[in-house]
Amino acid sequence: MTLESLRVAPGPVADKPAARRPADEVALIHDRLRAQGYISSEAIATALFVSQRLEKPMLVEGPPGVGKTELAKATAAVTGKALIRLQCYEGLDEAKALYEWKYSKQLLYTQVLKDKLADVLSGAEGLKASLARLHEFDDTFFSEEFLEPRPLLKALRHPGGAVLLIDEIDKSDDEFEAFLLELLSDYQISIPELGTVAAVVKPIVFLTSNNTRDLSDALKRRCLHLHIPFPDQALERAIIRSRVPEAEERLQIQLVTFVQNLRQLDLKKVPAISETIDWARTLVLLHARELDRTLVETTLNVLLKFQDDIQRVNEGLTDLLSKATSATR
């Protein structure tokens, strides 16, 4: 991805744009992401700027629900590139990630070849000549015609370039990490039957991780690192204002204050920004204008995913509500 892809489309006069300062470029990235509904921090916009200039993949780490996957989606929307997503899981291998052979088509081809065997061997004298004639068909079985591309290969071959999202890389095995190293360093991949496949246009690569396990140093060296934490109060309010604009300002302030204080509790799973957005939409759906005890008690299941956490929050609900409502006094 180039910085030009984040700029406003040029007018009829194709003048070369004046050079911008890095700070201006970062601000432009921030604005273009905002236009797609993604409210970025200074750190996020700066990391995206650097990754573009250096043409390096970006490893985005942080707790679930803080906007790691959404960053890749917003970048695809901003640049107008196709988003190609590879969801990682334990046991993921190259057959699901890179390519697979169309075995049924190969089998059909084998049957056709068998039926036409007499024609194929016509004119061949002796066993050696017959085998040589058959060997001419070996490579056909492992040619482009029988290749089924998977996400990694699709991203390398996309004619206009693509945004490749390798989601939740920490759920994959160490072997799959090692398999990715060539792609991450050289934007190419080796296929034994076809040779090396290099990117037509270098894809924009995002890897996300929820930190469920440590990733290898080799993988980290090939990527720029970005950690997205839970947002502070100002950023979270800006996100809610953007994603749930129909929520009244008083309600926005109270619910963000409530969530910010709730994250200080010892919970199995503290709510991320995705849960805050869902809760805000729920409250709007219920025509809420401000928080009250009954409203919170009946909607905590949207914000929290474990019953033990809901019970723990209910025990301290008076204090949490008091802090939230006092923010608008």
pLDDT digits (tens, 9 = 90+) for 199-224: 989 999 999 999 999 999 999 999 99
Residues 88 and 166 in one domain: yes
Q: pLDDT band at 54, cuts 50/70/90?
A: very high
Q: Is residue 50 part of a domain?
A: yes
Task: Please determine, for residue 48, whether its predicted confidence score (pLDDT) is greater than 50.
Answer: yes
Task: Please determine, for residue 86, whether its predicted confidence score (pLDDT) is greater than 70.
Answer: yes
Torsion angle (degrees, nearest 10) of CA 152, 158, 163, 166: -10
Read off the amino acid at residue 175: E
Residues 307 and 253 in one domain: yes
DSSP β-ladder status, 224-227 and 58-61: parallel
CATH of the domain at 160: 3.40.50.300
Residues 132 and 165 in one domain: no
The pLDDT, as a whole number, for residue 141 is 57
Of 212, 227, 242, the residue at which a domain comes to its end is 227
**How many distinct structural domains can be found in the chain?**
3
Q: How far apart are CA 189 and CA 216, in angstroms?
A: 19
Nearest to 180 by CA among 200, 155, 162: 155
Q: Is residue 12 part of a domain?
A: no
Residues 222 and 104 in one domain: no
Tokens of 24: 């201006």
Entry field: residues in the chain: 329
Residues 90 and 189 in one domain: yes
Burial track 152-163 (b if 16+ CB lie within 10 A, e otherwise): bbbbbebeebbb
Q: How far apart are CA 80 and CA 161, in angstroms?
A: 10
Q: Is residue 194 part of a domain?
A: yes
Residues 128 and 193 in one domain: no
Q: Is residue 30 part of a domain?
A: yes
Residues 159 and 26 in one domain: yes
The pLDDT, as a whole number, for residue 143 is 56
Give the residue-averaged pLDDT of 87-110: 76
Residues 117 and 170 in one domain: no
Q: Is residue 89 part of a domain?
A: yes
Residues 169 and 292 in one domain: no
Of 227, 260, 295, the residue at which a domain comes to its end is 227
Task: Please determine, for residue 126, whether its predicted confidence score (pLDDT) is greater than 60.
Answer: no
The pLDDT, as a whole number, for residue 149 is 85
Q: What is the pTM of this model?
A: 0.81
Task: Please determine, for residue 1, whether its predicted confidence score (pLDDT) is greater than 70.
Answer: no
Residues 37 and 119 in one domain: no
Tokens of 204: 């924009």
Q: pLDDT band at 99, cuts 50/70/90?
A: confident
Beta bridge partners of 205: 164
Q: Is residue 221 part of a domain?
A: yes
Domain containing 191 equals: 3-7+17-96+150-227
Residues 48 and 179 in one domain: yes
Q: pLDDT band at 136, cuts 50/70/90?
A: low
The pLDDT, as a whole number, for residue 9 is 38
Burial of 214 (0-12, 13-18, 19+ CB in 10 A): exposed
Nearest to 205 by CA among 97, 89, 75, 78: 75
Q: How far apart are CA 237 and CA 243, in angstroms?
A: 10
Tokens of 5: 């892809």
Burial of 308 (0-12, 13-18, 19+ CB in 10 A): exposed
Give the residue-averaged pLDDT of 1-6: 48
Residues 124 and 36 in one domain: no
